[in-house]
Amino acid sequence: MNRGFYKVAAAIPSVHIGDCKYNRTKMQELAKQADRQNVEAIVFPEMSLTSYTAMDLFFQRTLLSDAVRELGNLTENTKDLNIIIIAGLPLAIENKLVNAAAVINGGKLLGLSVKTYIPNYKEFQELRWFTSANDLISKSINLFGYDVPIGNDLIFDINGELKFAIEICEDLWVPAPPSSGFAIEGADIIFNPSATNELISKNDYLKSLIRQQSARCISGYVYASAGFGESSTDLAYAGNGIIADNGKIIKESERFSIEQQLIIGDIYVNHLKYDRMLNDSFAGFRKKGINESCRTVCLSIPARKTEKYIPQRTIEPTPFVPSGPLLDERCEEIFNIQTFALAERLRSIKCKNVVIGISGGLDSTLALLVANRTFHKLGYDTKGITGITMPGFGTTGRTHDNAVSLMKELKISIKEISIKEACSVHFKDIGQNPSEHDVTYENCQARERTQILMDTANKIGGIVIGTGDLSEIALGWDTYNGDHMSMYAVNCGIPKTLVKYLVIWVAEKTYTGKARNILMDIADTPISPELIPADKEEQIVQKTEDLVGPYELHDFFIYHTVRYGSEPEQVLYLAQIAFGDKYSRITILKWLKVFYKRFFSQQFKRNCMPDGPKVGSISFSPRSDWRMPSDSSAEAWIRRLEDIS
């Protein structure tokens, strides 16, 4: 492994039916090519040494002996490569034929995994030739002068760092695939040498199987299926190469390619291990002995280290914001979760009135859109939504006008209450110099606004809807007992980078004309609490990202730190890859230190945060997802960064 990643490849060689020497030569070429690209394990298709469609030729001793001889040649000819090779062949044992996958490395045959489920229907009548691994008595076979473990119960342990196992083709398609047991026994990656023919829509089903099985097993899954050169007498083989990581396909081959192919990807093993550690249900299966025990084959493989290791997979700079069509689906799902959660809260407390502070910024806008849709869903009069704009010392005309205009377009109840006079009186009461724009100056305004919202809610028999998002909660970028507090927080599970896309999505899907234009302008407004007076041109002076750092960086830090428990060095390394030349290493390091300092020091706010719906994999609710002492120290995390500065 390198930096928690394991580089794998699925190879689709061109084959000649029954010509083991030719096939071995092509496999050898691809293995050497993969080794040059620092691949650590490569899997070839089912029966790759003979071809899968040899049919009754499998009974010919010539073919069987050639397959073993060429396996020996492949083993010998790749002994100088630092790569694990998984190659398929038919093997005679106990007067039976088995469908086997050989594992070789360093000039040695390390093990033979055998196919368990032998199809016997329509086009797949393998029972004509092959016997299930379940029918084997032997646990080893002597090949090349030494005993080699054989069976369907082998797990290969690489240096105590990583485990992998093999299931073959049909094994994946059965109700209880062997890979489930392998994963429970500790296999991090499953390799599948396969030979799946093509039918209409079959490829979509195959990909869904691989996604689901890799997700269910919390594992990597590397699939290589037979391609060009296999017999087309009755079927066609498209040469599918698929690499999946915990439910996500990260690499795919080109189907129906006449040229042989090699696809390479990195499985993030550290992430898999972290998820398994957190998943009690996963660990519970082994404890209860539901699966059968496996034999472990320990491998000592020289570590492959590279100076500038770049994983061959995309490191998303905005992990909370999917790209393409998935973004539209994600926005709709999140908006539905928010709406449904608020609807249930209002219904259960028999409340038809809510109060929201509307600033003209992204967060309060999203909260208002959620409330508006919820009222429509419940059949409530939208006049029961009271939007209050509370101009302060830093409020600009742009945000104020957008706030008022949006409330009018949505036909809700509108109040405007300036906080300037109340804050000025309070400054006098506590001896605060109004010209000193410090934390007291800012927090006074936030708490005054919260007081107005809470008291108005009491007055109309309603609840205050919180507007703060997940990123602000992580950084503590809210005023304790100010905007930190509400009676129900609809945005608490949504990171800042996603809030903007949600507002734009709602604007495009729901509104037209003036309402849409207002929402688009709000999405384009710089993020600011507007607690410091604007400049002479009425432009926002206090820009949040100038003070705490870019939210896209912080959301990246949150994702990798909280979701996967990544170490500071790894977060920095991944951020450098994800953001390329957009931010320098020095800049990323600066804001990463800020993140850790704020994240640790602001836990006291999270420990008493209001209720709100979880919408993704991360939540900071102290009642369920995130429990952390308020007096925890960030020093160990900061020191790790200072050591590499």
| C-alpha closest to that of 442 among 400, 403, 392 | 392
Start-to-end Cα distance in the chain: 24
At 16, list the tokens. 């000649």
Dump the DSSP string for 45-88: -TTTTT-GGGGGGGG-HHHHHHHHHHHHHHHHHTTTS--EEEEE
Spot the catalytic one: 7, 20, 40, 169. 169
331 is catalytic: no
| Strand ordering across the sheet containing 189-194 | 248-252, 241-245, 220-225, 189-194, 162-166, 154-158, 295-299
Alpha carbons 230 and 45: distance in angstroms, whole number: 11
At 545, list the tokens. 């990202």
Other Cβ atoms closer than 10 A to 480: 15
| Strand ordering across the sheet containing 261-268 | 140-143, 146-151, 108-114, 96-105, 84-93, 41-43, 5-12, 261-268
Q: How far is CA 55 from CA 51, 77, 126, 231, 232, in A?
A: 9, 28, 9, 10, 12
Spatial contact of 89 and 46, defined as CB atoms under 8 Å apart: no
115 is catalytic: yes
Spot the catalytic one: 40, 46, 167, 530. 46
Spatial contact of 229 and 240, defined as CB atoms under 8 Å apart: no
Alpha carbons 52 and 62: distance in angstroms, whole number: 16
Other Cβ atoms closer than 10 A to 211: 18
Task: Name, in order, each residue with C-beta under 8 angstroms of 361's C-beta and a sequence gap of 6 or more.
Answer: 399, 522, 525, 527, 528, 530
Alpha-carbon dihedral sign for residues 106, 110, 112, 113: negative
Spot the catalytic one: 115, 163, 251, 605. 115
Residue 259: is it exposed, middle or buried by C-beta count within 10 angstroms (0-12/13-18/19+)?
Answer: exposed
| C-alpha closest to that of 388 among 409, 362, 425, 419 | 419
Spatial contact of 331 and 369, defined as CB atoms under 8 Å apart: no
At 414, list the tokens. 């509108």
CA count, 13 A, side-chain hemisphere, 357 = 31
Alpha carbons 446 and 444: distance in angstroms, whole number: 6
> Which residues does the annotation mark as catalytic?
46, 115, 169
